[in-house]
Structure 1
Amino acid sequence: MISGFLAIDKPEKISSFDVIRRLRRILKIKKMGHGGTLDPFATGILPIAIGEATKLLEFIANNDKAYEFTMKFGVATDTLDLEGSILGTNTIMPSNESLINILPQFLGKISQIPPKYSAIKINGQRAYDLARSGIDFEIKAREVEILDLQLLSYDAEKFEAKMYAKVSKGTYIRTLASDIAEKLGAICHLNYLRRVEFGKILEKDTISLDILEKMVNNGEHITKVFLHTTNILDDIPVFEVSVEELGKIRQGQFLQKSLNLPDSSIISLIHQEKIAAIAKYESGLIKPTKNIIF
């Protein structure tokens, strides 16, 4: 069975798991998963792990992500996006200058309350299921980090502002947009959301489902569009191992090495530019925790 990572350009109007369903049909492979769920109306980078690569999904969850999104002022919805029910309208459109001037207040570590229409679990139940059932509940604020925030374009006539944000894990762009609008005495919802970066994965690295299906139908090898695995784990230190060391790793043996890392550091071990294992570094020993067979 083939193993590796794909970056799918997720189309709108389908869920992230719908992408998995279609890929399983196209590739005739069952063992796969995705990283970083995108809402159905959102598009852009959706990392897909196939085969042995699924063992690495938990390690890409912390990757920073970047989005382009459009704030539609004057209309508030219960889901904070275009798919929700309208809660209110007005004619307030913040000026170009006020938008630019407010953005620095949202940079760095901020407190954010995730939307009620989200996949967060409340007492074992998804928040969106509770919200759809009309059950009242509260979601606790969480700390997230906004690494970059820019105004890309502004259209007062359409009541729209297109933005770019680079954010940490767990940040809700819908909430960020709503909070910006509230700070300006306005209301808004998102009518466009696209993930343009996922760690080191960029839009140019993606492939559409339609093109991938054509490749398979034409008998082409999909491995040629696989991502370089060492680029996937962009926040984990990488260390090369020899053939002899690789053999020991495969047998579950520890490697004795002096690394300039704190104890309990998670590292990836590579051989011939392929990830061979994930390991923990403790007391001068590299202890394999996951063997990866590519």
Structure 2
Amino acid sequence: MSKPRKPKGRPISGWLILDKPVDFGSTEAVSKIKWLFKAQKAGHAGTLDPLASGMLPIALGDATKTVPYVMDGRKIYEFTVTWGEERASDDLEGEITATSDTRPSEEDIRALLPKYTGVIQQVPPQFSAIKISGERAYDLAREGETVEIPSREVEIFRLTLLACPDADTAHFEVECGKGTYVRALARDFGRELGCYGHISGLRRSFVAPFAEETMVPLADLVALEEIEDADERLAALDALLIDTAEALSSLPHLVINDDQAHRLKMGNPILVRGRDAPIAETEAYATARGKLIAIGEIGQGEFRPKRVFV
């Protein structure tokens, strides 16, 4: 019987909060970071289009188990809408599909924003990762098909007009929930204002729970390749990682001892006692000696592990 193949790379875990440059795809960014860190596995929390820049949280190793918790977090974008043209992709990449000589006033734009704040219905762009009959919408769009994409609920917590530098452009900031397409906001603004519009600039500055100041520019990471000593180079990279547990800061937290940690690692529940102990939680996480041990459920006086971390 053959032995199981040993995974390639280092068993390193943590989050790298990349400041992704324009014209660099999210999948390409993950591959680059995985190679730089010599990590066994990597993944990202929330795709950024190649034309967008900003925060792309990348999980390494066991941190990939916490990706869904970051995907669900709030996000903040700054974006620029150019009026007068609607495009197939709702950004600069797509071909022009409609034009208008009309331009909105600042007052008209401000009057529109309350309608797009709160829980709204949004139709994703034709060029999106939404699946239609098992196929990605962007694949169908590239083949020239126009498909009916159903609207869905998204939540806009805050939408601000930052500036109108000229008649053709407007700068905005939006704080939104999971699944919101900023490109679709630009498209819908333009249609409602009777002037058409598309995204001409997009930057993500925040993905909960990671702050803007935690971002690391790709150029800074690439510069570390010049360090000739491999151990020194990897140590410099590792120093930029954020602990895996930081992705779970929105969940209840249990601090446990070594014996309890051992039981959880074996897949067994532990007792939850004490006056301040949670009574029931669908999800919580446990740490021992500052290290993440497990994500689990609390009920009937027990913490039952669902995901265990090495």
TM-score range, shorter chain: over 0.9
Of 186, 201, 206, which aligns to 1:197?
206
Q: Where does the alignment leave 5 or more consecutive residues of structure 2 unmatched?
A: 1-10
Match of residue 138 from structure 1: 148
Deviations 1:21-80 (A, max 9, x none): 222332222411111011111111111111111121122221111100000011110100
Coordinate RMSD, CA, aligned: 1.7
CA contact (8 A) 2:84 2:197 kept: yes
CA contact (8 A) 2:76 2:173 kept: yes
CA contact (8 A) 1:4 1:52 kept: yes
Aligned mates of 1:172, 1:39 — CA distance in 2: 11
Write out aligned runs for 1:181-196 (5 A): 181-196=190-205
Match of residue 123 from structure 2: 113
Of 35, 57, 62, which aligns to 1:25?
35
Of 8, 15, 18, which aligns to 1:8?
18
Aligned mates of 1:134, 1:91 — CA distance in 2: 27
Aligned mates of 2:272, 2:31 — CA distance in 1: 43
Deviations 1:141-163 (A, max 9, x none): 11010001001111224x11110
Superposition deviation, residue 166 in structure 1: 0.5
Larger radius of gyration: 2
Match of residue 55 from structure 1: 65
Q: Secondary structure at the match of 2:216?
A: coil
Match of residue 282 from structure 1: 299
TM-score, length-scaled by structure 1? 0.93
Match of residue 185 from structure 2: 176
CA contact (8 A) 1:63 1:235 kept: no
Match of residue 271 from structure 1: 288
Of 76, 79, 102, which aligns to 1:66?
76
TM-score, length-scaled by structure 2? 0.89
* Residue 248, structure 1, aligned to residue 263, structure 2: yes
Q: Which has the larger displacement, 200-209 or 13-22?
A: 200-209
2:21 alignment partner AA: P
Superposition deviation, residue 135 in structure 1: 2.3
Match of residue 36 from structure 1: 46
CA contact (8 A) 1:43 1:194 kept: yes
Aligned mates of 1:228, 1:204 — CA distance in 2: 15
Aligned mates of 1:184, 1:75 — CA distance in 2: 12
Aligned mates of 1:31, 1:2 — CA distance in 2: 9
Relative to structure 1, the CA distance from residue 10 to residue 254 in structure 2 (aligned partners, 3 Å threshold; closer, same or farther) is same
CA contact (8 A) 2:265 2:309 kept: no
Superposition deviation, residue 229 in structure 1: 3.1
Q: Where does the alignment leave 5 or more consecutive residues of structure 1 unmatched?
A: none
Superposition deviation, residue 261 in structure 1: 5.4
Q: Secondary structure at the match of 1:245?
A: helix
CA contact (8 A) 2:66 2:244 kept: no
Q: Secondary structure at the match of 2:194?
A: coil
Superposition deviation, residue 237 in structure 1: 2.1
* Residue 215, structure 1, aligned to residue 224, structure 2: yes
Q: Secondary structure at the match of 2:57?
A: strand
Match of residue 80 from structure 1: 90
1:241 alignment partner AA: I
Deviations 1:207-245 (A, max 9, x none): 122211323542342221112433322432222222222
CA contact (8 A) 2:297 2:305 kept: yes
Superposition deviation, residue 94 in structure 1: 1.1
Percentage identity across paired residues of the two chains: 34
CA contact (8 A) 2:70 2:207 kept: no
